[in-house]
Structure 1
Amino acid sequence: MNLLLTSLLCALSIGATTIFDRNLAYRSPYADHPELSHDTKELQARHFRRQNADAAPFSDGHYPTFYGSDFSNSPFVWSGGINFTHSDRLIQGDPLDTSVLIWTRAFPLGAGLDQSVPICVSYKIFASPALPGRPIDSGEAFTSWDVDFTVKFEVSGLKPDTQYFYVFSDCTNPSTVSPVGRTRTLPSPDTPAALVNGGKPLTLAVFSCSQFQTGWFNAYGVAAHNTSAEIFVHLGDYIYENVDGGSVCQIIYCFESETNLVNSASIGREVLGRELATIHDYRQRFNQYRTDASLLLAHQNAPWITVADNSWKAGTTDSNDTDAGCSFSPSGACFTDRKLAAVRAYHEWLPIRQVSTFDQLRIWRNFQIGKLLDLTMLDTRQYDRDVTDVSYSWPVVASLATFSNRSLMGAAQEKWFEETLIQSKDRGAVWRIVGQQIVFTQLLLSGAFGNPPRFLTADDWDGYRANRQRVLDHLYRNRISNTIILSGDSHANWVSDLAHPNDTTTYNPITGEGAIGVEFAGTAVTSPSAFGAGISPAAADPVSGVFVAENPDLQWSEGSFRGFFTLSINAEMVNCTYYAMRDIDSANLDAFASAQFIVKAGENKLSRPVAGGTVAAGVLKSNGTT
C-alpha cells in the first residue's frame, strides 16, 4: 500500500469527518436548516466499517429524502482512478474579497458504479497559470454518489481583487489532474472605486435562458473568447426541465414547440431522460448541459454569480401537490418532492453559497465590489411571489395586477432590497447593479396585432404593478442614483430608462430627464424569441417598432437574435454592449455587437443620443434629437 493511501486511511480513523465536511456539497442548501445536510459522521463511520459483501444496488425512481445512502459495505477510499468528467469540468462562483468557491466532478473509473466507495479529491491554488512552486493554498475532501461525485471547496485567506489559478487532482494518484481553472476575488468593500480591478473597468457578462435542445451555447463561448468579462452573471433558466422545446408564449399567443421550434434532432441537441422530477433526472440534465464546449470554457475562465428561475412557489401548470399534479410524471413526484430534488441538484452542481432561508429557498444576496458597485441579486420567481400566470390563468392573474398588496418578492425580500439600496448609497458605492429574472419596464402591447391593448405578460413586473411602484418610489424618495436593473427571461432585448410607467409629465422620453435609472434586459442564450421561434429581423423589427412607440420608457427593442450583453463599469460610466449570435444551429463563435449604450454616473438615464444614434439590429425610439 503506498504512503499516500496509508495517510488517507489514517485520516479516516482520526478526525475523519473533516475531510467530508470540506466538501460543501454535503451541506444543506439551507444554511439555517442543517438537518437537511448529509450526516458526515455517519458517512465516516460507514466507510470505516469495512466488509466483504457487495454494496446493494442503488435505485432512484422517486426522491423521498435528501440522503439515505448506506456505506456499511464500503472500502476505505477509491484508488482505481477517477475522471474529471468531460475533461474541462471546472467551475467557480460567488466570489468574495478573500474567498471563492471552486467546483469539480470526480467520477470513478471502472466497469460499473460502486456506490459504496468514497473518492478523495485535492486542490491547489496558485498566483500564476504555470502553477510554479508551492501553492498558495491546498486542501482535500471526500465525495461520493450521495452528491453525484461533485466537490465544492471554499478557498479562503486569499488577497482581494486578485486573479488565481487552480487545479484538482486524485488524492491517491496525484498525476491524475484536471485542466487549470482561472478565478478571481472581489476587491474589498472599502477599495476606492478608481482602484477596483487595478484601475481598469470591471466587465460583467450577463446571460439567461439556455435551453440545450434548441441551440448551441455559443454566447458563452463568445463571452469567454471575445470579451474581457471577468465575472459571469446568470439571471435564470440555466437548465430547462422539459424534453421538447416546451410551450412558448409569443406576443400574441402561446404555442406548442413540436411544430414551431428548432428540430432538436436536426442540430444534434436532444436531451436525455424525461421531464425532470427526481434527483436522478436533475443530475442527468446538469451533466448533459456541461458537455457544451462553450459553457465549459466560460465556467473554467471566470467566476459565476447565479440566480435560479423556477416556478411559482406553489407549483407549475402540470406539477403541483394535487392528484393531477402528482400524476404528470411517471415517477409520481409531487411538486414539493420535485422542488427539493431541484434545490439539492442546483446546490450540488453550481458554486452558489448557502443563504439563510427562513423556511423557503433564499438565493437573494448582495456583493459589495469595492466602492465601485453593489451587485444585488434578487429572486423574483420562487421565493415568496404571489400567484402568477401559469398559462391557463392569465385573465384571473391579470385582473390582480394592480392590487396594492400584491408582491413579486415577498415582504421579507422587499424590505431587505430597500435596505440594501440605502446601505449601498450610504457606504458610498458609485453604482447599484440589480440582477433579477424578469423585465421591469412596462411593455404594453398595441391593438395593432388584433388584440385590445394589454401588457405583454402577467408573469413579469407588469403583473405586480404595486410592487414595481414601491421600488420606483423608494429610489425617487431617497434620491438613490446610479441604479441599473438587469433582466432576463423574456427571450428578447429591451433597453429602457427607469421611470414611472407612462408618466410623461415628469419623464421626458426624448431627453431622458426625470428618469431614476436604467434597465438592460437581455435575450436568451438559445431559447426561442417571444416574437416567434426563428423569427427573422425583418419580421421582428415591426413588432419592436410598436413597442418603442407605445411605451415611453422603452428606448430599444430587438427580438430576433439570441445572445448576451456585457457591462463595462468604472467610476465615470457604464458601457453596455449587446452581442447577437448569427447561428446557434452549430457550435461556432460567429457573433456581432448589435447595440451599445452609455450610462454616465449621476445622470440616471441612457446617454443621448441613445446608442450613439444607431444600432446594428432592432429598433431605437429616436436618436435623442427629436
Structure 2
Amino acid sequence: MISREPSMPHLDRRSFLVTGLAAGAVATIPASAALAAPDPATETGQSLAGRGLRTDPFTLGVASGDPSHDGFVIWTRLATAPLAEDGLGGMPARPFPVLWQVYSDAGCRRTVRAGVAMAAPEWGHSVHVEVDGLSSDREYWYRFRVGPYLSPAGRARTAPHPMSFGGPLAMAFVSCAQYEHGYFTSYRRLAEENPDLVLHLGDYQYEYTRDTYTIPGGNVRDHEGPETETLAGYRQRHAQYKADPDLQAAHAAAPWLVVWDDHEVDNNWADEVPEKPEVPQPDFLTRREAAFRAYYENMPLRRASIPRGIDMQLYRRVRWGRLATFHMLDTRQYRDDQGCGDGYRDCPAAVDPARTITGAEQESWLLNGFRESRAQWDVIGQQVFFAQRDNNAGPAKVTSQDAWDGYVASRRRITQGWVDAKVRNAVVLTGDVHAHWAGDLKLDYDDPTGPSVGSELVATSISTGGDGADSDPAAHPFLAINPHLKFYNNQRGYVITKIEREQMSADFKVLPHVQVPGSEAYTRATFVIEDQVPGVQQTYLRPLDPALRRSRPITVEETVELETKRP
C-alpha cells in the first residue's frame, strides 16, 4: 500500500494543538470546577463559548462508542446548517470550546466526569472525548454544551472488569442504511430495545447522487448534493444521515462499534482500486482520503483511528470482560481486488492461496488474538458474507467475488486459526447482503457431513432495497445447494442478541414496511448457539404473514440482483 501525506489543509503547530483537542485529546477538569465555570447561558458564557452561534449547533445529535471497562468515547459534531454544500455545517471558521459532562443518573444531576474539548474547523467541528476513570459494568449518561445551547443526552455504558463475566450482554448489529430507499424506523425500534452495545457493520451511508440507485416504484426521499467524492461532499452526506431523528435515537441509546464496508467510499472498492478500474480515476486516492477523514469526523472512534493520509486504523479489539471479545475487521482497505469482477462467478482467482481479503498484517493480528483469547465468546464483526454460498447446483462453484468466497484461502487460514487456537466459541457477524441469514461455518464446505467449527449471523439492511418481502426461508434455493445455511429472510430490520455464558441467542427482527414510516418490529426467527456447540439451532420461527409474503419462492437470479448494484 502506498502511504501518502494528507493533502488536506496543512496544520501548523498551533492548529495541531487545537485539532488534537478536537480529535480526542481533551482538557479534563474536575466535575465541580466544570460546574462552577461561567454559565454558558450568561452574557459572559456566550462570549467565551457561543460567540457567533445564533442557532442550536447540536443538530447531528450525540453518540458514544468503543467502551472499555473504565470508559468510552463520546462524540458530537457542531452544525447549525447541516446540509450546507461546503460541508462546514454553517459553522464559523474558528474553534469552539465545548463543555462535556458525564453523569451517573439518567436525569443528568450527578456529574462524575467533565471537561472541555475544542471543536476545530479542520475536523468538521467534531468532538471526540475519551472518557476514563469510571466504574466498570454500569450505565452512564452524557451531554455537551456550547454557549446557551445544550445537546440531547446520550446513554453509554462501561464493559465489565477484565476478570469478570458480568451479566448477560444485549448486543444488536445492523448494516446497510440507504437513506433514499426507506425511513430509518429500524434504528428507532432498535433504540427501543435498550441494548447494551450496537455493532454497525458497514454501509452507514451511501455515496450516490439522487436518482442513481433506485428501487421499484421510486425512492421515498433524496440525497442532497452530487455523488460523494470530496471532503465537502462526504461531510454533507454524513450530516444528512446524522440529522435523521431515528438514527440519532439509536446512537443515543447505547455505545456503538463501527466498521465500514464499501459505500462509505465507493461501491465495491478494494484497497487502492475503485469500483471501475477500467475508467481512469486519477483522483481516487484523494477521494479515499476525504472519505476516511469524514468517516472519522462523524463516528465515535478513539484517537487511534485518526486517519493519516489515505490510511486509517479501523480494525481493533474490544473486550467485554471475560464474556466476549469483539474482533472488528476491515475487509476493504487491505484486500486484493476482486477476481473476475465483483459479481457471482466461477473464478479461478478465488482459490489463489496468495490472495487476501484482510491483508497479511491484519490477518496476523487476528490469529494472534485468537491464540491469546480467554473469552467465552470470540465475536468477529465484519462486512461481507463469510460462509460459502454457491448458487450453482452443479460441480462448478459460482460465488460472489466481493465476499469471502472470492478469497477462499484467506477464509481457510482464519477459520483454521481459531480451530488451532481452540477458541471456545467463534461467531462471525456479517452485513452487506440486505437479507437475514444464519448458518454453520465449516473448514471444508465440500463435505456437508463434516463438523461445524463456528457460526455466522447475518443482518439484513436497515432500509436498502425498500420494503422487501417475506417468504418461506426453507424454499430459498441457496439453502438446498448449501446445507450449512439454515435461514433466510428478505425484509428490513436488525438482529438483537443476548450473550450469556451458556449460550448466545439471536432474534432476527423485521419490519413490514420501511417505505412508509412507523412500522413496528417483530421477531421473524430466533436461533441459539450453545456454549462449545458450533452451529446455529432454530428455536422459533414465526408463521408467514399472508399480507407480506411473496407470491412465489425467490430465485437465485433475484438474490444476485438484490445484492448487486451497478449504477
Place the TM-score, normalised by the shorter chain, in its bin. 0.7 to 0.9
- Cα gap change, 1:221/1:245 in structure 2, threshold over 3 Å: closer, same or farther? farther
8 A Cα contact 1:501 1:553, kept in partner = no
1:464 and 1:552 map into 2 onto residues whose CA distance is 21
Compute the displacement of 1:455 (Å).
Answer: 2.8
1:360 and 1:344 map into 2 onto residues whose CA distance is 10
- Cα gap change, 1:565/1:144 in structure 2, threshold over 3 Å: closer, same or farther? same
8 A Cα contact 1:436 1:486, kept in partner = yes
8 A Cα contact 1:84 1:105, kept in partner = no
Compute the displacement of 1:121 (Å).
Answer: 1.1
Tell me the residue number matched to 1:56.
Answer: none
Compute the displacement of 1:88 (Å).
Answer: 6.3
In our comparison, the structure showing a higher alpha carbon Rg is: 1
Tell me the residue number matched to 1:479.
Answer: 422
1:178 and 1:613 map into 2 onto residues whose CA distance is 42
Percent identity between the aligned chains?
28
Partner residue of 2:228 out of 249, 254, 276: 276
Compute the displacement of 1:187 (Å).
Answer: 1.4
1:270 and 1:147 map into 2 onto residues whose CA distance is 26
Tell me the residue number matched to 1:537.
Answer: 470
Equivalent residue letter for 1:314: E
Partner residue of 1:209 out of 176, 186, 193: 176
| Cα deviation 1:522-567 (Å, max 9, x = unaligned) | 1111112xxxx765335x858x521111102111122x20111011
1:82 and 1:435 map into 2 onto residues whose CA distance is 42
- Mapping 1:345-360, distance limit 5 Å: 345-355=294-304, 360=311
8 A Cα contact 2:108 2:141, kept in partner = yes
2:143 and 2:468 map into 1 onto residues whose CA distance is 43
8 A Cα contact 2:64 2:255, kept in partner = yes
| Cα deviation 1:104-143 (Å, max 9, x = unaligned) | 122369x99574433221011110012225x211111222
Tell me the residue number matched to 2:209.
Answer: 243
Compute the displacement of 1:588 (Å).
Answer: 1.3
Tell me the residue number matched to 1:567.
Answer: 497
Tell me the residue number matched to 1:72.
Answer: none
Equivalent residue letter for 1:284: Q
Equivalent residue letter for 1:291: A
1:398 and 1:275 map into 2 onto residues whose CA distance is 31
2:290 and 2:303 map into 1 onto residues whose CA distance is 16
Equivalent residue letter for 1:150: S
2:287 and 2:209 map into 1 onto residues whose CA distance is 16
Equivalent residue letter for 1:205: A
8 A Cα contact 1:525 1:564, kept in partner = yes
Equivalent residue letter for 1:325: Q
| Cα deviation 1:402-456 (Å, max 9, x = unaligned) | 11111111111111111101111xxx311111100011111111369xxx95434
1:185 and 1:279 map into 2 onto residues whose CA distance is 33
- Cα gap change, 1:317/1:136 in structure 2, threshold over 3 Å: closer, same or farther? same
- Cα gap change, 1:219/1:557 in structure 2, threshold over 3 Å: closer, same or farther? same
- Mapping 1:485-496, distance limit 5 Å: 485-496=428-439
Tell me the residue number matched to 2:484.
Answer: 553
2:340 and 2:464 map into 1 onto residues whose CA distance is 18
- Mapping 1:191-590, distance limit 5 Å: 191=164, 193=165, 196=166, 199=167, 201-225=168-192, 227-244=193-210, 246=212, 257-258=213-214, 260-264=215-219, 267=220, 269-310=221-262, 311-318=269-276, 324-326=280-282, 334-355=283-304, 360-382=311-333, 384-388=334-338, 391=341, 398-424=347-373, 428-446=374-392, 454-504=397-447, 506-507=449-450, 514-528=451-465, 535-538=468-471, 544-558=475-489, 560-590=490-520
1:453 and 1:611 map into 2 onto residues whose CA distance is 34
1:262 and 1:348 map into 2 onto residues whose CA distance is 35
2:209 and 2:71 map into 1 onto residues whose CA distance is 37
1:490 and 1:393 map into 2 onto residues whose CA distance is 12
Equivalent residue letter for 1:598: V
- Cα gap change, 1:86/1:389 in structure 2, threshold over 3 Å: closer, same or farther? farther
Q: 3-state SS of the aligned residue for 1:367?
A: strand
1:121 and 1:421 map into 2 onto residues whose CA distance is 40
- Cα gap change, 1:354/1:150 in structure 2, threshold over 3 Å: closer, same or farther? closer
1:348 and 1:446 map into 2 onto residues whose CA distance is 43
Tell me the residue number matched to 1:602.
Answer: 532
2:189 and 2:324 map into 1 onto residues whose CA distance is 25
Compute the displacement of 1:76 (Å).
Answer: 8.2
- Cα gap change, 1:224/1:304 in structure 2, threshold over 3 Å: closer, same or farther? same
Unaligned runs of 5+ in 1: 1-14, 28-74, 247-256, 327-333, 508-513, 620-626
Compute the displacement of 1:611 (Å).
Answer: 3.2
Compute the displacement of 1:178 (Å).
Answer: 1.3
Partner residue of 2:158 out of 185, 194, 209: 185
Compute the displacement of 1:492 (Å).
Answer: 1.5
Q: 3-state SS of the aligned residue for 2:109?
A: coil
Compute the displacement of 1:339 (Å).
Answer: 0.6
Compute the displacement of 1:362 (Å).
Answer: 2.4
8 A Cα contact 2:66 2:255, kept in partner = yes
Compute the displacement of 1:176 (Å).
Answer: 2.3
1:238 and 1:586 map into 2 onto residues whose CA distance is 20
| Cα deviation 1:559-608 (Å, max 9, x = unaligned) | x201110110011110100011111112214221111001111112223x
Q: 3-state SS of the aligned residue for 1:212?
A: coil
8 A Cα contact 2:524 2:541, kept in partner = no
> TM-score, normalization: structure 1?
0.74
Compute the displacement of 1:230 (Å).
Answer: 1.2
Equivalent residue letter for 1:430: Q
8 A Cα contact 1:209 1:238, kept in partner = yes
Q: 3-state SS of the aligned residue for 1:166?
A: strand
Q: 3-state SS of the aligned residue for 2:400?
A: coil
RMSD over equivalenced CA pairs, Å: 3.1
Of 286-295 and 272-281, the range deviating more from structure 2 = 286-295
Q: 3-state SS of the aligned residue for 2:524?
A: strand
| Cα deviation 1:435-481 (Å, max 9, x = unaligned) | 00011111111369xxx954341110111111111122223333322
Are residues 1:144 and 2:124 paired? no
Compute the displacement of 1:85 (Å).
Answer: 4.2
8 A Cα contact 1:578 1:593, kept in partner = yes
8 A Cα contact 1:160 1:185, kept in partner = yes
2:187 and 2:292 map into 1 onto residues whose CA distance is 24
1:534 and 1:399 map into 2 onto residues whose CA distance is 36
- Cα gap change, 1:84/1:486 in structure 2, threshold over 3 Å: closer, same or farther? farther
Equivalent residue letter for 1:372: L
Are residues 1:95 and 2:67 paired? yes
Q: 3-state SS of the aligned residue for 1:561?
A: strand
Unaligned runs of 5+ in 2: 1-13, 27-46, 263-268, 554-567
1:371 and 1:343 map into 2 onto residues whose CA distance is 32
Equivalent residue letter for 1:546: P
- Cα gap change, 1:381/1:114 in structure 2, threshold over 3 Å: closer, same or farther? closer
1:26 and 1:82 map into 2 onto residues whose CA distance is 28
Tell me the residue number matched to 2:142.
Answer: 166
Number of positions where the alignment pairs a residue of Structure 1 with one of Structure 2? 501
Of 152-161 and 309-318, the range deviating more from structure 2 = 309-318
- Cα gap change, 1:106/1:261 in structure 2, threshold over 3 Å: closer, same or farther? same
1:486 and 1:605 map into 2 onto residues whose CA distance is 13
Equivalent residue letter for 1:467: S
8 A Cα contact 1:482 1:517, kept in partner = yes
Tell me the residue number matched to 1:128.
Answer: 105
